[in-house]
Amino acid sequence: MRVAIGSDHGGFNLKAEIIGYLKEKQIDYHDFGTYSLDSVDYPDFARIVADAVAGGDCDRGILCCGTGIGVCIAANKVAGIRAALCHDTFSARMASEHNNANIITLGERVIGPGLACDIVDAWLNSEFAGGRHARRIEKISEIEKKNR
C-alpha cells in the first residue's frame, strides 16, 4: 500500500506527526507538501493528493488542514475520490468499511496528534465490507458520472 499525504500550512504540523507514524509502521507514503508553515491554498494540495489516488499512483490519501473541511470538499471534486472527514476512530472505520473512502481528512485545530494517528491506524486497518455497501458506492459513482 502506498499512501499519498498532503496539507496546507494549517495542517502542516499534524501531517508531520502522521508521517512519523507511517514511518514507524513502515507504510510507504509520498509527501505532496506543503513543506513549510508559509501560507498556501488548501485546494492546491487537496487536488494533488486526490489526483494521485484517483490516478492509481497511490492507494489511499491523507489530507490535513486547520479543520479538515476545506481539503475534504476540494478532494471530493476529483472524479473517483471518496474523501471522509474523520475526527474519531469509529468514523474512520466506517469510512473504510461502509463508504470505501480512499482519502481521509483531518483537522489540526480540531484533534491532537495522538488521536490523529489512532484515526489513521483505524482507517488503514479496515477494509471495505462490500455487500449492500457496494450498491451504495455504485450509486455515488452514477451521480458522479451524471454530473461530469
Helices (H) and strands (E) in the chain, counts: 6, 5
User: Could you tell me how far CA 68 lies from the centroid of its own chain?
Assistant: 9
Of 30, 86, 87, 98, which is the active-site residue?
A: 98
User: Which one-letter DSSP state was computed for residue 59?
Assistant: S
Selected catalytic residue, list 65, 72, 86, 117: 65
Q: Is 112 annotated as a binding residue?
A: no
The verdict on whether residue 5 carries a ligand-binding annotation is no
Identify whether 64 is a catalytic site residue. Answer: no
59 is in an annotated binding site: no
109 annotated among ligand-binding-site residues = yes
Is 48 labelled a binding residue?
Answer: no
DSSP secondary structure code for residue 125 in this structure: T
Q: Give the phi and the psi of residue 113 in degrees, each rounded to 5.
A: -65, -35
Check the annotation: does 121 bind a ligand. Answer: no
d(CA 100, CA 126): 10
Cα distance between residue 146 and residue 79, in whole Å = 11
* 87 is an active site residue: no
Q: Is 140 annotated as a binding residue?
A: no
Catalytic (active-site) positions:
65, 98
From the annotation, which residues make up the binding site for D-ribulose 5-phosphate?
8-9, 66-70, 99, 109, 132, 136
From the annotation, which residues make up the binding site?
8-9, 66-70, 99, 109, 132, 136
